[in-house]
Amino acid sequence: MTSLNTDINELVDPAPAGGLTAKDVSCWFGERKVLERVSLEMRPRTVTALIGPSGCGKSTFLRTLNRMHELIPGAQLGGQVLLDGEDIYNPEVRATETRRRIGMVFQKPNPFPAMSIRENVLSGLKLSGLKADDPDSIVEKALTRAGLWKEVSDRLDSAGGALSGGQQQRLCIARSLAVEPEVLLMDEPCSALDPTSTLRIEDTIAEISDRVTVVIVTHNMQQAQRVSQQCAFFLAAENKPGHIVEAGPTSTIFTRPSDPRTEDYVNGRFG
Amino acid sequence: MTSFTSETNVSYDNDRPRALRSWKVEDLTLLLGTAFSALALNWIFYTALTTATGATGFVVTWTLLFYTFYYLANRIELGPQAASDRLWTAFTWSAALLLLAPLITILLYVIVKGLPGLTKDFFTQDLSATGTLDTGGGASAAIVGTLEQVAIAVFISVPLGVLTAVYLNEVRGKFRRPVRMFVDAMSGIPSIVAGLFIYAVWIVAFGHGFSGFAASLSLSILMLPTICRTSEEVLRLVPGGLREGSLALGATRWKTVRQVVLPTAASGLVTAVVLGVARAVGETAPLIMTAFGSTALNRNPFSGAQDSLPLFVYRLITNPFPAQQQRAWTGALVLVIVVLILFTAARWLGARASGQKR
Ligand SMILES: Nc1ncnc2c1ncn2[C@@H]1O[C@H](COP(=O)(O)OP(=O)(O)O)[C@@H](O)[C@H]1O
Ligand SMILES: [Mg+2]
């Protein structure tokens, strides 16, 4: 039913850049299956939140969306992930190009310690072999969108590692934004941060979501409600692979969920 | 309550760091006093009471007496807890001094013996025109030889060693286990065997003749395992999150290694190179049959026998004439200075490589 809706949407708006669709994605670590037939529509320029208890495969799913999953030895996957209708696992598509188009921010801030703030922001360009015509304006733009420009504009040449945790995370967001990705995946980007920094990051997400599609994993129900328009609830039964119980508009998931397990989870009764 | 507040005001109204572990005059007096009384008692022991002689025994008994006195004195002053704490502090200090003693003695000895021969000529002249009884001449042939041989060895073994470490820790290829086993086995090769190997293959079988380059090859064999294993340990310390962050930006594995992993590990890699050089710079055995040694300056490391500082020292110290022995000691002093300069430079480079962005 949702798929019909989006088909119509796509007809109306012919090239919505950054739409991501997972179709029947299953994942294995060695013999162990941890995700079963997950299908999810992540609309362009929308924030989609993935919620669910620990160990139900949210991170694993997120990592299949930009081909980070396959970097783990023994990891396998089935199904399709479509970026604007093209399968990113098509053998003709280079994984590095896919990862440039679909950026990722990790749970633990990981600025490159051997680089300055400025170099960190430009690192994506250098690493993916892109040429920067006007590096200064790229640095300013990326840092401004990540909400960090005012704080660091006078010390761009100092170490990225000397910033506070929240600033480091925003630096990592700026670093991802500098290569102009169509999608930004965020795996619990605030779980290592204090409440003030968390709010700053949420502002940043709201700020960037008019240009990029955001998929965010969070354990914080209030955060999911504050930042996302769409929401998917993951669950894994004991020793069973994880799957999506329910997905839809965030307001529906939190106020009128159709599955009782969703209702229990969003109201904090388990997980 | 009020008295507490007023007291606080009196004692802490100065806004400056407080001394938390201060040495009082009494502590120093106690230390020196017990050391002196131990010395005095020991002296009486050695001169009046027994017929014992010998410096080593004197120092040992003095130290033991000092520990006893120091412990007892502290126990009376401060109680058993503090006394045993002080005693252990004394033990650790002694251990550190004991470790430093040989190093300092060697350094002082080499300096005292070598310094008289350390003239400008020593660096600018060779021994080609100097007879065994003559004074004058110098070690320029040996100094140039050592610098060139070690430089070429670094040039060969650093890229090889670091690339192998990258293979072991970053590429994680199929042949990891056998490669690591070979590297480990290599580190056990006696240096003379490394020299013999190059002699048999490069010099005899390939017919290249003695040269500084042959010496560099044998030194590379010795440096390679050290550089490789140390680099591997250093690369292992680079957090996996940095690699993921780089790959997630669209970098290839090779770019990740070159632009993120290696720069992050830079200071550690410098240490790896230093350890490798330390292994090679003082080697004598493998040079005997590769560089061979020469009294004349040979600037070209690729052809003809070349001298080196360890060979120079070895050749001249076994010579009975005082002038030659003096040169050997001065050569040893120069070798020590070269090592010190290399180490200081490497430390400085390493600190700069990592300290700059941290
Ligand atoms: N590298 C890995 N190797 C093997 N199993 C893994 C690995 N990473 C995650 N798993 C397993 O996959 C399941 C899903 O993990 P994850 O996606 O991290 O869950 P979540 O992010 O929802 O907490 C867990 O049972 C976990 O034990
Ligand atoms: Mg997770």
pLDDT digit string (tens) for B101-121?
A: 999 999 999 999 999 999 999
Does one domain contain both B180 and B308? yes
B237 contacts chain A (CB < 8 A): no
Axis-axis angle for helices B322-355, B80-114 (nearest 10): 130
Residue B343 lies in a domain: yes
**C-alpha–C-alpha distance, residues B126 and B147, integer Å:** 15
Does one domain contain both B37 and B106? yes
Residue B133 lies in a domain: no
For residue B346, what pLDDT is reported? 78
For residue B22, what pLDDT is reported? 65
Does one domain contain both B92 and B174? no
Whether pLDDT at B175 is above 70: yes
Name which of A100, A160, A161 is nearest B249 (Cβ-Cβ): A100
> Is residue B33 helix, strand or coil?
helix
**Nearest ligand (C-alpha, residue A232):** 1
Beta strands, E only, chain A: 20-29, 32-42, 47-51, 75-83, 86-87, 102-105, 183-187, 213-217, 230-235, 243-249
Task: Check B357 against A113: CB less than 8 A apart.
Answer: yes
Per-residue pLDDT of B115-173, as tens digits, reads: 999 999 999 999 988 887 788 889 999 999 999 999 999 999 999 999 999 999 998 88
Per-residue pLDDT of A211-234, as tens digits, reads: 899 999 999 999 999 999 999 999
Does one domain contain both B99 and B233? no
| Residue A34 in tokens | 């941890």
Edge-to-edge strand ranges of the sheet holding A86-87? A32-42, A20-29, A75-83, A86-87
Task: Check B358 against A97: CB less than 8 A apart.
Answer: no
| CATH superfamily of the domain spanning A16-111+183-266 | P-loop containing nucleotide triphosphate hydrolases (3.40.50.300)
Q: Could you state, in order of their start, the residue ranges of all structural domains in chain A?
A: 16-111+183-266
Beta bridge partners of A216: A49, A186
Residue B130 lies in a domain: no
Residue B152 lies in a domain: yes
Residue B128 lies in a domain: no
Does one domain contain both B31 and B144? no
Task: Check B357 against A104: CB less than 8 A apart.
Answer: no
CB-CB neighbors (< 8 A) of A123 in chain B: 246, 249, 259-260
Residue B16 lies in a domain: no
Nearest protein Cα to ligand 1, atom 3 = A29
Per-residue pLDDT of B52-92, as tens digits, reads: 778 888 888 899 999 999 999 999 988 999 899 999 999 99
What average pLDDT does this structure show over B175-190?
Answer: 93
Whether pLDDT at B12 is above 80: no
**C-alpha–C-alpha distance, residues A122 and A176, integer Å:** 9
pTM for the model stands at: 0.82
Does one domain contain both B98 and B151? no
For residue A10, what pLDDT is reported? 47
| Residue B13 in tokens | 């109204």
**C-alpha–C-alpha distance, residues B90 and B67, integer Å:** 8
Whether pLDDT at B356 is above 70: no
In DSSP notation, A60-91 reads HHHHHTTT-GGGSTTEEEEEEEEETTEETT-T
What region does A260 belong to: left with phi over 0, alpha with psi -120 to 50, or beta? Answer: alpha
Q: Which domain holds residue B316?
A: 140-357
Whether pLDDT at A45 is above 60: yes
Name which of B244, B259, B357 is nearest A116 (Cβ-Cβ): B357
Closest atom of ligand 1 to A188 CA is: 21
**Nearest ligand (C-alpha, residue A61):** 1
Q: Which of B115, B131, B160 is the last residue of a domain?
A: B115
Predicted ipTM of the assembly: 0.90
- In our burial notation (b when 16+ CB lie closer than 10 A, e otherwise), range B58-77 reads beebbbebbbebbbebbbee
Q: Round the average pLDDT of chain B to a whole number and report it.
A: 89
> First-to-last CA distance in chain A?
29
Sequence-distant (6+) residues with CB within 8 A of A84 are A15, A16, A17, A18, A19, A182
Q: Which of B115, B148, B179 is the last residue of a domain?
A: B115
For residue B2, what pLDDT is reported? 44
Instruction: Kindly report which listed range (A67-76, A136-145, B269-278) carries the lowest average pLDDT score.
Output: B269-278
Confidence grade of residue A51 (pLDDT, cut at 50, 70, 90): very high
| Residue B330 in tokens | 């001065």
State the alpha helices, DSSP H only, in B125-252. 140-166, 176-187, 191-198, 212-236, 240-248
Confidence grade of residue A88 (pLDDT, cut at 50, 70, 90): very high
Whether pLDDT at A8 is above 60: no
Name the minimum distance, in Å, from the CA of B169 to any CA of chain A. Answer: 14
What average pLDDT does this structure show over A237-246?
Answer: 92
What average pLDDT does this structure show over A257-269?
Answer: 91
**Nearest ligand (C-alpha, residue A35):** 1
Confidence grade of residue B351 (pLDDT, cut at 50, 70, 90): confident
CB-CB neighbors (< 8 A) of B351 in chain A: none
Ligand 2 center from residue B167 Cα (angstroms): 30
Share of chain A above pLDDT 70, in %: 94
CB-CB neighbors (< 8 A) of A162 in chain B: 358
Per-residue pLDDT of A191-201, as tens digits, reads: 988 899 899 89
Whether pLDDT at A11 is above 80: no
Q: CATH number of the domain that B228 lies in?
A: 1.10.3720.10
Does one domain contain both B29 and B160? no
Sequence-distant (6+) residues with CB within 8 A of B272 are B161, B162, B226, B227, B230, B231, B234
Name the minimum distance, in Å, from the CA of B177 to any CA of chain A. Answer: 17
CB-CB neighbors (< 8 A) of A104 in chain B: 248
State the alpha helices, DSSP H only, in chain B. 2-12, 25-44, 55-78, 80-114, 120-124, 140-166, 176-187, 191-198, 212-236, 240-248, 253-256, 262-264, 266-281, 285-288, 309-317, 322-355
For residue A192, what pLDDT is reported? 86
CB-CB neighbors (< 8 A) of B241 in chain A: 106, 108, 110
Whether pLDDT at A14 is above 70: no
* A–B CB contacts, 8 A cutoff, strictly below: 83
Per-residue pLDDT of A126-136, as tens digits, reads: 998 888 889 99
Ligand 1 center from residue A57 Cα (angstroms): 6
> Is residue B133 helix, strand or coil?
coil
Task: Check A160 against B357: CB less than 8 A apart.
Answer: yes
Nearest protein Cα to ligand 1, atom 2 = A29
Cα B40 to the center of its chain, rounded Å: 38
Whether pLDDT at A146 is above 60: yes
| A66: closest chain B residue by CA | B248
Share of chain A above pLDDT 90, in %: 82
Closest atom of ligand 1 to A234 CA is: 22
Q: Are B195 and B221 in contact (CB under 8 A)?
A: no
Q: Are A184 and A103 in contact (CB under 8 A)?
A: yes
Beta bridge partners of A230: A48, A249
Whether pLDDT at A121 is above 60: yes
Nearest protein Cα to ligand 1, atom 9 = A60
Axis-axis angle for helices B140-166, B266-281 (nearest 10): 140
Which among B285, B308, B279, B127 is positioned nearest to B213, based on CA atoms?
Answer: B308
Q: Round the average pLDDT of chain A to a whole number and report it.
A: 90
Does one domain contain both B106 and B213? no
Confidence grade of residue A56 (pLDDT, cut at 50, 70, 90): very high
Name the minimum distance, in Å, from the CA of A110 to any CA of chain B. Answer: 6
For residue B355, what pLDDT is reported? 52
Task: Check B264 against A160: CB less than 8 A apart.
Answer: no
Question: How many separate domains does chain B show?
Answer: 2
